[in-house]
Amino acid sequence: MKAVAIQAFGSPEGLVVIDLPDPTPADGQVLVATEAIGVGSVDVLIRRGALAAYGFSEGHVLGGEIAGTVTAVGSGVDTSWVGRRVWAFTGMGGGYAEQAVAPAATLVPLPAALSAVDAVTLGSSGIVAHFGLRHARFAPGESVLVRGAAGGIGIMTVQLAARGDAGAVAVTTSSPERGDRLRKLGATHVLDRAGEGDEDAPAGYDVIIDVVAGAHLPSFFAKLNPNGRMVAVGAVGGPPPAGFAMEMIAAFRKSMSFATFSADTVAQPDRRAVTADLFAAASRGEWDAVVHDVLPLEEAVPAHREMEAGDVFGRIVLAPSGSPAL
């Protein structure tokens, strides 16, 4: 089968298409013939080598989010999964391939009206957005700022906050055009990357969901209200500087809090239930799956170039040759 692996850490050009034997599902796993493969920011970090200390090495096949049809199951897995269209989370790799194995515990059936492309656009982003807002203890009426709102997680957070009756939903983004698109998804205020640019925006926010992190994260503590909560759900801009929490300490009397959030801390049954509800609602047209582009699997390099350039609004999806997504 065809797959995309990291030949050399660094630039997108370090990705290569290779031939691998068809995988065999182990105990508790299924084999999925992929129709759509999500390209995520964590894939970019792994490809750069930024996560090499966590065990990722050259030769690694990227991709954690797939949708397609189950073609085989391992021991202990209900055989009724075979032939069903599903969304699955492979873990931290193996998804950029014509066939991929995934834990059966992650499977969510796809409604007939939901495409594989929309499934990988909504799936993991919806999980992180939903539970990230819960981690922040978001309540109706509160003001929310989404920092880095143009990616999959940011877009879903905007939609969830707006439909959760947020008092205001502000976003940071790189251009007025992106801001206009985010307004159509529920944003009420559009800010530049520094969090400025709208005189009518709230002076402070009860909740900040941060997808970016990076060097400028500390400056956003000044935008939290008393008892405000900032939750970092990503780090596409790299880690924050050492000692970044000193900004919080300097404003000690505001009782602000900071937390990170990873979906790894959410039990699988809870993740599946939220994803199934999201897919059902999306199939009824209640959520917007924002797809930036669908590219052949062999074009993983240009897909990653777009990710590096910051040109992506929504989700880039890869699809193997012969997939209905192409």
Mean pLDDT, residues 97-116 taken together: 98
Strand-pairing partners, residue 293, are: 316
Mean pLDDT, residues 273-292 taken together: 97
Mean pLDDT, residues 308-322 taken together: 95
Mean pLDDT, residues 46-73 taken together: 97
Lookup: tokens for 84: 């069903």
CATH number of 137-260: 3.40.50.720
Mean pLDDT, residues 171-199 taken together: 96
Predicted confidence (pLDDT) per residue in 109-156, tens digit: 999 999 999 999 999 999 999 999 999 999 999 999 999 999 999 999
The per-residue pLDDT of the chain, averaged, comes to 97
Q: Coil, strand, or helix at residue 190?
A: strand
pLDDT-derived band at 53, boundaries 50, 70, 90: very high
Work out the percent of the chain whose per-residue pLDDT is above 70. 100
- Give the CA angle between residues 163, 165, 166 to the nearest 5°: 110
pLDDT-derived band at 91, boundaries 50, 70, 90: very high
Mean pLDDT, residues 37-46 taken together: 96
Tokens 């609602």: give the residue.
281
CATH number of 2-124+266-319: 3.90.180.10
C-alpha distances in Å from residue 175, one per residue of 39, 221, 232, 243, 250: 22, 23, 22, 30, 32
For β-strands 99-103 and 29-39, DSSP reports them as antiparallel
Same fold, 2-124+266-319 and 137-260: no
C-alpha distances in Å from residue 267, one per residue of 11, 74, 82, 272, 306: 35, 22, 24, 9, 33
Q: Is the pLDDT of residue 311 over 90?
A: no
Mean pLDDT, residues 184-208 taken together: 97
Mean pLDDT, residues 267-275 taken together: 98
Return the amino acid letter for 86.
V
DSSP conformation letters of 87-110: EEE-SSSS-SBSEEEEEGGG-EEP
Domain range summary for the chain, segments of one domain joined by +:
2-124+266-319, 137-260
